[in-house]
Structure 1
Amino acid sequence: MASLDLTLAWSNEQEVQEITPAFIEKVEELLRLAGELEGIAAGEVALTFVDDETIQELNKQYRDLDKPTDVLSFAMSEFGEDELQINYEDDGADTEGLDDEELVSESFIEPLGDIIISVPRAIAQAEEYGHSVERELGFLFVHGFLHLIGYDHQSEEEEKVMFAKQEDILLKAGLTR
């Protein structure tokens, strides 16, 4: 199998729960496992941990729902006709003879999208479901990642497929209930 070049860019914009280096390593493992399962060999996922107020603002702005939610995903592959195109500037690298695809791969990691997780929602759901906060945060990350790459759960069948994949990834990473 080709090597994976999936990267995680993350930020913490909440003060409810410490986000430890060990937990970020676990999220990176989840990303690797999900990428392997789904055949996603390269890309970057931006993950942000927020509070309920922030996720409620985003939920209202982007989904017209004025309430907090547990996770939001914004896939970069869902470009509308009004979206801006990315232009790559010349950085002085020797690019003579490379086609457009090679130019992009030489200088750019494809963003898969953004995942925003409400830590207070994750804590409440972990208590409700009787498992660790780390497992719930991991679940929400994997759930968000699968949305980024096109999965949804609008129908019962779609939900079964998506949730089975989530559980498989979490099990492989040792994040059990």
Structure 2
Amino acid sequence: MISFNYENNFNLTNEIKLSKWLSSVILTENCIEGEINYIFCDDEYLHKINVEFLNHDTFTDIISFDYSTGKTLQGDIYISTERVEDNANDYKVQFYEELQRVMVHGILHYCGYKDKTPEDAKLMRAKEEFYLKTFI
């Protein structure tokens, strides 16, 4: 089950559509949907988590805590909507396109994709692009 939670003034306008899309990504990747929580927040909220749990004193758009077991995907995905908005402006894309990219990015990590090496990052980006095109 995919749930959406809000720690700031942001609210998705299309939760059901996004949930169905993310569920289809999980199935396409031959994984099982467990409990996945998206938590939308501001930079300050996510920065505090980054410092407290990861010892990173930086701003970021997403932090995911993966509790998956085997092919059953479970976890908490924190997304700073402020950072997503800034990134959308930097990359010259619409806010919701960048938001969907970040959302599917978290799911792809749970599916086992990495992005630390250039090769891994290239594959991750290709997967993101592929799934963004499947959102109708």
Question: Does TM, normalized by the shorter one, top 0.5?
Answer: yes
Question: Which residue identity does 2:86 align to in structure 1?
Answer: A
Q: Are 1:12 and 2:3 matched, yes or no?
A: no
Q: What amino acid is aligned across from residue 131 of structure 2 in structure 1?
A: I
1:36-64 Cα shifts (integer Å, max 9, x gaps): 22111331211000000010001111221
Which ranges of structure 1 fall in alignment gaps of 5 or more residues? 1-6, 79-109
Contact (CA 8 Å) 2:7, 2:42: kept in 1 or not?
Answer: yes
Q: Percent identity?
A: 31
Q: Highest Rg: 1 or 2?
A: 1
Query: After TM superposition, where is structure 1 displaced by more than 4 Å over at least 4 residues in a row?
Result: none
Give the count of matched residue pairs: 134
Identify unmatched segments of 5+ residues in structure 2.
none
Task: Give the aligned CA root-mean-square deviation in angstroms.
Answer: 1.7
Q: Could you list the per-position Cα deviations for residues 110-158 of structure 1 after superposition, in whole angstroms to 9, with x for gaps in the alignment?
A: 6611100000001111111111111111110111111123211111111
Higher relative contact order (CA 8 A, sep 6+): 1
Residue 93 of structure 2 corresponds to: 131
- Decide whether aligned partners of structure 1 residues 34 and 111 sit closer, same or farther in structure 2, where only a CA change above 3 A counts: closer
For the residue of structure 1 that corresponds to 2:114, the secondary structure is: coil
Q: Distance in 2 between matches of 1:114 and 1:152?
A: 17
In structure 2, how many angstroms separate the alpha carbons of the residues matched to 1:18 and 1:10? Answer: 9
Q: 1:53 aligns with which of 10, 27, 44?
A: 44
Correspondent of 2:124 among 148, 156, 162: 162
Paired with 1:137 and 1:27, the residues of 2 have a C-alpha distance of 11
Q: Which amino acid aligns with 1:54?
A: Y
CA distance in 1, matches of 2:3, 2:54: 24
| Rounded Cα–Cα distance in structure 1 between residues aligned with 2:110 and 2:73 | 10
- 1:10: Cα distance to partner? 1.4
Task: Kindly report which structure 2 residues correspond to 1:24-35, keeping only aligned pairs within 5 A, or say none.
Answer: 24-35=15-26
Deviations along 1:87-118, whole A, 9 cap, x unmatched? xxxxxxxxxxxxxxxxxxxxxxx661110000
TM-score (norm 2): 0.89
Q: Which has the higher strand share?
A: 2
